[in-house]
Amino acid sequence: MNSDIVLSITNATKRFGPVLALNDISLQARRGEVLALLGDNGAGKSTLIKCISGVHQIDEGQITIDGIATSIRSPVDARAAGIETVYQDLALFDNLTPAQNFYAGREIAGPSWLPLGLRFLNSRRMEAETARVLDRLKVILPSKEATVALMSGGQRQAVAVARASVFARKVVILDEPTAALGLREARKVLDLVAQLRAEGNAVILITHNMEHVTELASRAIVLRQGRKVGEIIPSKTNQQELVSMIVGA
Amino acid sequence: MTSTEEIKPAKAARNRESTGALSLWLNLLSVGPIAILVVLFVLLSLASPHFLTPRNLSNILAQTAVIAIVAMGQHLVILTRGIDLSVGSNLALATVTGALVYQATGSTILTILTMLASGAAVGAINGMVYVFGRLPHPFVITLATLSIAKGTALELADGRAIPGMPDAIRFLGGGAVLGIPASFFVVAGVALLLIVMARTMVWGRWIYAVGGRPEAAVRMGIPTRAVLISTYVIAGLCAGIGAVLLAGRTDAGSPLFGNLLELDTIAAVIIGGASFLGGRGHIGHALIGAVMIGVIRNALNLLNVDIFFQLIAIGIVIVLAVEADVLRTYLEGRVRTLRAARLQ
Ligand SMILES: Nc1ncnc2c1ncn2[C@@H]1O[C@H](COP(=O)(O)OP(=O)(O)OP(=O)(O)O)[C@@H](O)[C@H]1O
Ligand SMILES: [Mg+2]
């Protein structure tokens, strides 16, 4: 059981000036499960995942990955550690194609004796690999050569999730991935999340949608004002309990 | 995307047609600059018998060369959502330092290297102050270096032109091979190099990423700061190359060179069809725009339209080009909404 723990956070604290955004948070994410991260606005959810994905750094506490204490100082560190993040704003480049988006910042290029920036792009390999992943995830796009500027909200979301899935080796974090989507497009994204889990990733899912929590998550952690106020196994019967934990009533 | 639910499925069939129409408009916009250039050529050769002569065309090429070189650098900066207002003064300073070094040493190589280094140095200052000074926009720093470089050039040259350039530089700026201006080959060489870098190298991809979405570039681990600085250094270097051509053509260095070159180059990039919104366009846009400005200037000269009106005409063309860019963004938004509606 313990060997399933991929990511473990112990006693994490994060301050923004006088604001205590995270107060002594501990959590564990396990291989092949979806962990829901719940909480009201300003509870500290985004701050917590940004500390995991390297956008912020925790002030106190420890992050271990596969049992090894790891310091994550930048997004590059996080990605190198096998942690992929689908940000709430998607962090897609509108002016680039899906393949170019997939490999932005980690292009397949050579020859390796040249400085990174001067290497020549291997576009064919990046396109083929992207097409393969999109097929595997059953994502249908109007055209693989078109820039993502011309894609619908769900297609863009799918591209962002698929991008994370290419590189995710351990942990995938999704910050409100269905917030802006219609029913069908949301369903598609939820299927992708389930697939990421099936592939053995530890998935951390931030959402305000209780239906999605009960459907996908095997555990739910609730934050309130930077503190962890509960951890339960969500089911159809305890939704009410979850909601009152979130709002603190 | 929030409005997608408002569109009824009954309209789906019509949506399909209008996406086609919108795409057609988008394609038209993308070939617009070249089409306009062709139309200009036809109209002008009808309007003036002197326009479509080998001599005049070679003239246009020579006059366009400096704008074209500097516009390519400007284009890279605009790709990253920036702007370089200092290119004109930068060029002037480079011609002056080059002329002084030539006076002092008589060395062709040193003169050329000085001009290139002077250009690149001003560019490096622009880029570093912008990035490390955490400025919200490069407008202010390049406005400052516009003034500083101009002042330095005037001071160094005592406010006057410094005559005398080595033969090789005079050839690059004013010579010709088989009737084709030598400066044309310089432009072609630089263009080729920049196209290879921007299209096939990782660095080029990073420029487009940084221009498309700066915050995302940081999160994706792209060395955003280095990328930004590199574009200003290259823009400065291009001003330095422009300095070699202009000093060669005029056989002098002068603090008064490069007046309004920022206008011409920014105009060239925008008129050529690159986007002010960042991350869109290619070197070809800068070149087409530069030729268009060269042609407009040349034609207005042939038709005896005075210089004041030329400025007005170019200003109007800039407004039209920027509006075309806004229209393109709007059309893309419509296409996206309709596509989303069709999926619901
Ligand atoms: N960069 C920052 N600087 C200062 N304060 C911040 C910063 N980021 C977050 N905070 C503060 O930290 C607290 C937690 O914010 P956070 O964005 O993590 O909440 P959240 O749970 O993601 O809320 P939401 O559901 O609204 O996205 C808030 O009080 C917020 O104002
Ligand atoms: Mg948040």
Using alpha carbons, select from A71, A62, A121 the residue that is nearest to residue A96.
A121
What integer is the mean pLDDT of B193-199?
A: 95
Looking at the CA of residue A45, tell me the nearest atom of ligand 1: 21
Q: Is B283 exposed, middle or buried (0-12, 13-18, 19+ CB in 10 A)?
A: buried
**Average pLDDT, integer, range B187-206:** 96
B197 vs B331: which has the higher pLDDT: B197
Coil, strand, or helix at residue B177?
A: strand
For residue B75 the two structure tokens come to 């284009």
Q: Residue B110: what pLDDT?
A: 97
CA–CA min distance A163, chain B (Å):
11
The answer as to whether A144 is a domain residue is no
Q: Please give the pLDDT value at position A243.
A: 87
Give me the residues of B, 254-283, that contact A with CB < 8 A.
278-280
Residue in this structure with the two tokens 């080009």, named with its chain if needed: B321
Concatenating the DSSP letter of every residue in A55-97 gives SS--SEEEEEETTEE----SHHHHHHTTEEEE-TTTT--TTS-
Q: Which residues of B touch A155 (CB under 8 A)?
A: 339, 343
Give percent above pLDDT 70 in chain B: 93
Instruction: Establish if B2 touches chain A: CB-CB under 8 angstroms.
Output: yes
Run of H or E including B252: strand B252-253
Q: What's the domain count of chain A?
A: 1
CB B272 within 8 Å of CB B292: yes
Task: Give dist(CA B238, CA B262) in Å, integer.
Answer: 13
Distance of CA B25 to the CA centre of its chain: 25
What's at B225, amino acid-wise? R
- Identify all chain A residues contacting B221, using CB atoms and an 8 Å cutoff: 74-76, 79, 105-106
pTM of the model: 0.87
| Position B288, amino acid | I
* A45 in contact with ligand 1, CB cutoff 6 A: yes
Q: Identify the helix (H) or strand (E) that includes residue B162.
A: strand B162-163
Tokens of B321: 């080009």
Q: Is residue B119 part of a domain?
A: yes
**Helix crossing, B54-79 with B182-200: angle to 10°?**
30
Structural domain includes residue B216 = yes
Instruction: Decide if A123 is inside a domain.
Output: no
Rg (chain B; Cα; Å): 22
- Confirm whether B122 is domain-assigned: yes
A21 Cα to the center of ligand 1, angstroms? 7
Give me the pLDDT at residue B297, please: 82
Contacts of B250 (CB under 8 A, 6+ apart): B161, B173, B257
Task: Report the CATH number that the domain containing residue A89 is assigned in CATH.
Answer: 3.40.50.300
Which of A71-80, A161-170, B223-232 has the largest mean confidence? B223-232
CATH of the domain at B103: 1.10.3470
pLDDT greater than 50 at residue B163: yes
Tokens of residue B280, six digits = 């869109």
Position B342 pLDDT exceeds 80: no
Chain B residue numbers with beta carbons less than 8 Å from the beta carbon of A75 are 218-221
Residue A16 main-chain phi, psi, to 5 deg: -110, 95
In a domain, B309, yes or no: yes
pLDDT tens-place string over residues B237-280: 999 999 999 999 999 999 999 999 999 999 999 888 788 888 88
Per-residue pLDDT band at B1 (split at 50, 70, 90):
very low
Is B294 part of any domain?
A: yes
Question: Out of B1, B200, B215, whose CB is closest to A153?
Answer: B1
- Based on C-alpha coordinates, what's the Rg of chain A? 18
Which residues of chain B make contact with A55, given a CB cutoff of 8 A? Answer: 219
Mean pLDDT, chain B, rounded, equals 88
pLDDT of residue A244 exceeding 60, the answer is yes
Would you state the pLDDT for residue A92?
Answer: 94
Beta-strand pair A109-110/A60-65: unpaired
Q: State residue B293's pLDDT score.
A: 87
Which pLDDT score, from 0 to 100, does residue A192 have? 87
In chain B, % of residues over pLDDT 90: 59
- For ligand 1, atom 9, the nearest C-alpha belongs to A47
Which of A221-230, B55-64, B233-242 has the least mean pLDDT? B55-64
B233 closest CA partner among B103, B127, B81, B113: B127
Q: Which residue has the tokens 């996080």?
A: A78
A131: in domain: no
**Looking at CA atoms only, how far is residue B76 from chain A in angstroms?**
15
Q: What is the pLDDT of residue B57?
A: 87
Long-range contacts, B300-307 (Cβ 8 Å, 24+): B302/B44, B302/B48, B302/B50, B302/B51, B302/B56, B303/B47, B303/B48
**Closest by Cβ to A109, choosing from B5, B202, B222:** B202
Q: How many CB atoms are closer than 10 A to CB B218?
A: 19
Residue A95 to residue B215, Cβ atoms within 8 A:
no
Smallest CA–CA distance, residue A95 to chain B, in Å, is: 6
- Answer whether B220 sits within 8 Å of A153, measured CB to CB: no
User: Residue range B32-48: average pLDDT?
Assistant: 82
Question: Taking the alpha carbons of B293, B194, B125, B106 in that order, is the dihedral positive or negative?
Answer: negative
Q: What H or E segment, with its residue span, contains residue B180?
A: strand B180-181
CB of A21 closer than 6 angstroms to any ligand 1 atom: yes
- For residues A1-12, average pLDDT: 83
Per DSSP, the residues of chain A read: -GGGEEEEEEEEEEEETTEEEEEEEEEEEETT-EEEEEE-TTSSHHHHHHHHTTSS--SEEEEEETTEE----SHHHHHHTTEEEE-TTTT--TTS-HHHHHHTTS--EE-TTS-GGGSEE-HHHHHHHHHHHHHHTT---S-SSS-GGGS-HHHHHHHHHHHHHHH-SSEEEEESTTTT--HHHHHHHHHHHHHHHHTT-EEEEE-S-HHHHHHH-SEEEEEETTEEEEEE---STTHHHHHHHHHT-
Is there a domain that residue A103 lies in?
Answer: no
Nearest alpha-carbon partner for B265 in B244, B245, B285: B285
So what's the pLDDT on residue B308?
Answer: 80
CA distance A155 to chain B (A): 9
**How many angstroms separate the CA atoms of B262 and B78, rounded?**
12
- B182 pLDDT exceeds 50? yes
What pLDDT score was predicted for residue B9?
Answer: 43
- For residue A84, being part of any structural domain is answered with yes
Q: Is there a cis peptide before residue B33, judged by omega within 30 degrees of 0?
A: no
Closest by CA position to B283, among listed B86, B120, B119, B69: B69
* Cβ < 5 A residues, ion ligand 2: A 46
pLDDT, residue A154, reads 81
pLDDT, tens digit, 9 for 90 and up, residues A82-100:
999 999 888 999 999 999 9
Residue A30 bridge partners (DSSP): A5
Range of the domain at A47: 5-95+168-247
% residues pLDDT > 90 (chain A): 61
**Is A83 at the interface with chain B, CB within 8 A?**
no
Work out how many domains chain B is built from and give that number: 1
Number of residue pairs across A and B with CB atoms under 8 Å?
114
Pairing of β B252-253 and β A227-232: unpaired
Nearest to A91 among B4, B213, B332 (CB): B213
Domain of residue B196, residue span: 54-324
β-partners of residue B252 are: B163
